[in-house]
Amino acid sequence: MQAAPSIPGPAIEAVIADRLRPFGTTIFAEMTKLAVKHNAVNLAQGFPDFDGPDFIKEAAHAAMRAGQNQYARTTGLPVLSSAIAEQWRARTGLSADPDAEVTVTSGCTEALAATFLGIINPGDEVILFEPFYDSYRACIAMAGATPKFVALRPPPTGTGEFTFDQEELARAVGPRTRAILVNTPHNPTGKVYTRAELQVVADLCLRHNLIAITDEVYEHLVYEPALPHVSLATLAGMAERTITLSSLGKTFSLTGWKIGWAIARPGLTAGVRAAHQFLTFATATPLQAGAAEALKHGSAAIAELAAMFRGNRDYLCSALRELGFAVHIPAGTYFIMADHSAISRRLGMRDDREFCVHLTEKVGVAAIPPSVFYDRAELGRSLARFAFCKKRATLEAAVQRLRKLSA
């Protein structure tokens, strides 16, 4: 067969719709590419460098061998929907009807997209706390809506918990506001919202008839008994107006499986499902079977992982502090935000991007420049985000290299 003759015409390069043009390539892909190029220890992207538990993988293999390889029910494999509802009840005391109030999605990323596309109208406003996980803003743009930002700030002097100004949050609510998104435990600051902070959000939602969207993918990765993870839906009046999103990836070190979910009352679930059915229709069947096993029998594995990450957090926080960073110790997640000002001043670096590129190229450790997670980029310029979801040997190799900074 002969190749079709090529017809000369204008070259087609990077055809990207206007609404997505501002977002470029995600910083995770960018920094990982740089890390690979310079053979750097990658503490940039938040995925473990070890595998998830065998019993979960075995359950997925068994499902595959048993012929569970066709489309799943669009709202989720019944056994997984039930396991999600059961662990929700066990953790929060709230009941969720697995058929009417749980929707299985392809990761929390799809749950976020289905939520924004399913319940937000063009012209609506959505309140985000900055820094924010980067997909929120892109999803809001895809829904034709507008984000409004409220800053999470570290204490004005020294290190400690990031928090927000209640007045700033109240001022962000306007006539077009439809929803507030809360990510707790919070990426990238490691903040775990207190019940009192969540009450401030709840009061605004109730007063202005807003929907709350919560991203709780790090729900099990919390390290301070005094700061337990609280779901916004458990506050009085909030179960009716909250869409709670989470996923399997962080909890079981299976980020590549992309199994997530949305829990909400039937009225809000209707919106999520209206979009979900056309985004992915259904999520990989055998992986859903594996995920059900994880949720039913995973509590020991979760406790083991959280203990390991707590040790990693303590190790990396004290190493970074010794090297001259001002470290905001995270109460949850697997990220550390560290202020690099003292070091970058010495090295003549102007901002987080310059610092993180230097770190990757010259020191051999990749970190994320967090100004990309802010609307007001200046709020993140003095910070760098390090991931500690790695083997201890990986963190030790990183610290060894970071010592060059103080040489």
Ligand X SMILES: Cc1ncc(COP(=O)(O)O)c(C=O)c1O
Query: Which residue's CB comes closest to ligand X?
Result: 107
CB contact at 8 A, 96 and 240: no
Least spacing, CB of residue 52 vs ligand X, in Å: 13
Write the interaction track for ligand X spanning residues 212-251; mark x where CB under 6 A is met and - where it is not. ---x-x-----------------------------x-x--
The pairing of beta strand 242-247 with beta strand 41-42: unpaired
CB contact at 8 A, 363 and 402: yes
Region near ligand X per CB under 6 A, out of 101-109, 166-174, 261-269, 386-394: 101-109
Task: Select from 59, 80, 96, 108 the one that contacts ligand X (CB under 6 A).
Answer: 108
Region near ligand X per CB under 6 A, out of 92-100, 164-172, 225-233, 254-262: 254-262
77, two tokens: 């494999």
CA atoms lying within 13 Å on the CB side of residue 53: 22
Nearer to ligand X, 291 or 363 (CB): 291
DSSP readout, 276-317? HHHHTSS--HHHHHHHHHHHHH-HHHHHHHHHHHHHHHHHHH
DSSP readout, 53-117? PHHHHHHHHHHHHTT--SPPPTT--HHHHHHHHHHHHHHHS----TTTTEEEESHHHHHHHHHHH
Task: Select from 42, 109, 244, 283 the one that contacts ligand X (CB under 6 A).
Answer: 109
DSSP readout, 176-233? TEEEEEEESSPTTT-----HHHHHHHHHHHHHHTPEEEEE-TTTT-B--TTS----GG
Least spacing, CB of residue 363 vs ligand X, in Å: 24
Nearer to ligand X, 283 or 394 (CB): 283
Least spacing, CB of residue 287 vs ligand X, in Å: 12
Residue 183 within binding range of ligand X, rule CB under 6 A: yes
What is the Rg, in whole angstroms, of the alpha carbon atoms belonging to the chain?
22
Task: Select from 75, 184, 187, 231 the one that contacts ligand X (CB under 6 A).
Answer: 187
Region near ligand X per CB under 6 A, out of 231-239, 255-263, 281-289, 314-322: 255-263
Instruction: Kindly tell me the sign of the dihedral angle through the C-alpha atoms of 295, 296, 297, 302.
Output: positive
Least spacing, CB of residue 112 vs ligand X, in Å: 7
335, two tokens: 């990220």
Q: How many helices (H) and strands (E) does the chain have?
A: 13, 12
Task: Select from 255, 283, 382, 394 the one that contacts ligand X (CB under 6 A).
Answer: 255
Binding-site size, ligand X (CB under 6 A): 14
Nearer to ligand X, 180 or 399 (CB): 180
Residue 82 within binding range of ligand X, rule CB under 6 A: no
To which residue do tokens 């984000």 refer? 147
Nearer to ligand X, 217 or 366 (CB): 217
Q: How many Å separate Cα 269 from the centre of its chain?
A: 21
Residue 290 within binding range of ligand X, rule CB under 6 A: no
Nearer to ligand X, 335 or 355 (CB): 335
Region near ligand X per CB under 6 A, out of 103-111, 119-127, 341-349, 356-364: 103-111
Write the interaction track for ligand X spanning residues 160-179; mark x where CB under 6 A is met and - where it is not. --------------------
What gap in Å lies between CA 47 and CA 259, rounded to an integer?
Answer: 15
Question: Which residues of this chain interact with ligand X, rule CB under 6 A?
Answer: 46, 107-109, 133, 183, 187, 215, 217, 247, 249, 255, 258, 260
